Amino acid sequence: DAGVIQSPRHEVTEMGQEVTLRCKPISGHDYLFWYRQTMMRGLELLIYFNNNVPIDDSGMPEDRFSAKMPNASFSTLKIQPSEPRDSAVYFCASSYPRGSGEQYFGPGTRLTVT
């Protein structure tokens, strides 16, 4: 298995632009999680899905952030408009929780907003 796939790996954009991050979970996993990692705040859970349905989006910082999961093999995290304080590494993770809920993380997208 290829593991969790994220694209792009690096994104540099200007303030005010729309940014879309993509994630392909491991086949057969029915939970998908989006995290943000910064030096100041550590690892934060933004939102997670079960069977393509958003379960908990309480970690989404504000209305500029939105996430979708149109099917079991694809999810997007969109920031519109982007701001410099959104600069972070965004990780996607998936899990197949029967028994453990162990999460498998993708390589992350490093976002820089100038």
Partner 1 sequence: AQSVSQHNHHVILSEAASLELGCNYSYGGTVNLFWYVQYPGQHLQLLLKYFSGDPLVKGIKGFEAEFIKSKFSFNLRKPSVQWSDTAEYFCAVSLTSGTYKYIFGTGTRLKVLA
- Closest separation in Å from C-beta 112 to partner 1: 15
85 three-class SS: helix
With respect to partner 1, which residue has the nearer C-beta, 59 or 81? 59
Q: Which of residues 67-96 bind partner 1 (CB under 8 A)?
A: 91, 93, 95
CB atoms within 10 A of CB 44: 14
Q: Answer yes or no whether residue 63 interacts with partner 1 by CB under 8 A.
A: no
- Closest separation in Å from C-beta 84 to partner 1: 22
Rg (CA), the chain: 13
Provide the strand spans (E) within the chain: 5-7, 10-13, 19-24, 31-38, 42-50, 53-56, 65-71, 74-79, 88-95, 103-105, 109-113
Question: Binding pattern to partner 1, positions 6-45, x when CB under 8 A?
Answer: -------------------------x-x--------xx-x
DSSP secondary structure code for residue 101 in this structure: -
- Closest separation in Å from C-beta 15 to partner 1: 25
Residues contributing to the site for partner 1 (CB under 8 A): 31, 33, 42-43, 45, 48, 50, 55-56, 91, 93, 95, 97, 99-108
